């Protein structure tokens, strides 16, 4: 087999492989966009967006706009981790 046939065969295999990867990535992107739209639709139907936005915000120095319950949960998790791993 001459070297040109081997090179053409390699280029052909490379193009096929790149085409398959590109097609897979396109399918992945459109699937993720579709799932995102579906998730937003489900959240809007269940009214979860309103309940999340009505949570109280923590007030204090350096924590503007952070939910108070979220800060409490994170603090409790850190304390528990430190208690069990010391």
Q: How confident is the model over 25-82, as pLDDT tens digits?
A: 999 999 999 999 999 888 888 775 555 556 555 555 555 667 888 888 999 999 999 9
Cα–Cα distance measured from residue 13 to residue 7, given in angstroms and rounded to the nearest whole number: 10
Confidence at residue 66, expressed as pLDDT on a 0 to 100 scale:
76
Residue 67 pairs in a beta bridge with 57
| 45 to 31, 48, 53: CA distances (angstroms) | 21, 8, 16
User: To which residue do tokens 């009214």 refer?
Assistant: 47
Measured CA to CA, the distance from residue 44 to residue 64 in angstroms comes to 26
Do 47 and 84 lie in one domain? The reply is no
13 and 43 belong to one structural domain: yes
Mean pLDDT across 7-22:
97
Per the structure, the complete domain to which residue 73 belongs is given by 55-86
Output the pLDDT for position 60.
Answer: 57
Q: Looking at the structure, tell me whether residues 50 and 64 fall in a common domain.
A: no
Look at the chain and report how many structural domains it folds into.
Answer: 2
Whether residues 45 and 59 share a domain: the answer is no
Tell me what pLDDT residue 83 has: 92
Look at residue 9 and tell me whether its pLDDT is greater than 90: yes
Residue 86 pLDDT: 76
């Amino acid at each position: 087999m001459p070297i040109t046939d081997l090179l053409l065969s390699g280029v052909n295999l490379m193009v096929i492989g790149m085409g398959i990867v590109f097609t897979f990535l396109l399918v992945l992107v459109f699937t993720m966009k579709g799932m995102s739209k579906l998730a937003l639709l489900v959240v809007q139907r269940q009214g979860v967006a309103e309940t999340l936005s009505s949570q109280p915000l923590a007030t204090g120095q350096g924590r503007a706009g952070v939910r108070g319950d979220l800060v409490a949960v994170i603090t409790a998790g850190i304390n528990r981790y430190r208690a069990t791993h010391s």
